[in-house]
Chains A and B, each alone.
Chain A
Amino acid sequence: EAQVTQNPRYLITVTGKKLTVTCSQNMNHEYMSWYRQDPGLGLRQIYYSMNVEVTDKGDVPEGYKVSRKEKRNFPLILESPSPNQTSLYFCASSLSGGGTEAFFGQGTRLTVV
Chain B
Amino acid sequence: QKEVEQNSGPLSVPEGAIASLNCTYSDRGSQSFFWYRQYSGKSPELIMFIYSNGDKEDGRFTAQLNKASQYVSLLIRDSQPSDSATYLCAVNIGNSGGYQKVTFGTGTKLQVIP
Contact = CB atoms under 8 A, between A and B. Distances in A.
A16 interface: no
B90 interface: yes
Interface residues of B, number: 24
Interface of B, helix, strand, loop or mixed by DSSP: strand
B60 interface: no
Interface in A41-61: 41-45, 48, 50, 56, 58-59
B43 A99 contact: no
Interface string B1-44: 00000001000000000000000000000001110000000011
18 contacts: A33-B102, A40-B106, A43-B88, A43-B104, A44-B104, A45-B102, A45-B103, A48-B101, A90-B43, A98-B92, A98-B101, A99-B92, A99-B102, A100-B46, A100-B49, A101-B44, A105-B43, A106-B43
